[in-house]
Amino acid sequence: MPPSTRRYGSNQRWLMKALREVAHEVGELVSGLPEEALQRRPPGEGLREVWSIVETVGFLRDSEREDLRAVQAMVRRDGARLAERRAHLGPGEGGYRAASVHDLVWDFAGLRQELLWELEWAGSAWDHHGTHPYRGDVSLADYVHEINERDLDAMWSLRRLREEAEALAL
């Protein structure tokens, strides 16, 4: 029996499946679009800033790097100290404008694979907690659910941006 079915329950199996599919789907959503469409930043929605496709993928990559470190810390030690998430600041700082979206997707996919392997072999560490400076104790399971929620939000944005880019091309 593979480790994924004997080490955690059905909820974690579903979550692992969802996490596995994201990197491929991100690649599909950005493929074939011209550079202009990848860099285009639509107007904001009220007070909410809307990121471009490349900024959204850059955010995913940087978030994955932060989250991988946090998950590794929690798996290794119950009660590990967690850093504040800061990847959401990246798009506002303009650091992705010169980045290749394909390199960002590749980096994200590699980091996601590392995260999946870490979780695949976490075993009883799924019950571990980390200590966040503002939130207090956060369980590994809750933290991974937050990663999935971030993925869903980013995927929704990428789909909408792709649809807008395709509509403008018509």
Check pLDDT > 90 for residue 22: yes
Is 159 or 12 the better-scoring residue by pLDDT?
Answer: 159
Instruction: Please enumerate in sequence order all residues whose Cβ is within 8 A of that of 130, keeping only pairs 6 or more positions apart, or say none.
Output: 70, 73, 74, 79, 80, 81, 82, 137, 138, 140, 143
Confidence category of residue 154, pLDDT binned at 50, 70, 90: very high
Q: What is the mean pLDDT of residues 139-155?
A: 96
Q: How many CB atoms lie within 10 A of CB 105?
A: 23
**Residue among 123, 103, 111 at smallest CA distance from 68:** 111
Give the per-residue pLDDT at 33.
94
pLDDT confidence of residue 90:
83
pTM, to two decimals:
0.89
Residue 54 pLDDT > 80, yes or no?
Answer: yes
Please indicate whether residue 98 or residue 48 has the higher confidence score (pLDDT): 98
pLDDT recorded at residue 145: 95
Average pLDDT over every residue of 64-86: 96
Q: Which pLDDT band, with edges at 50, 70 and 90, does 13 fall under?
A: confident
Rg over alpha carbons for the chain, rounded to the nearest Å, is: 17
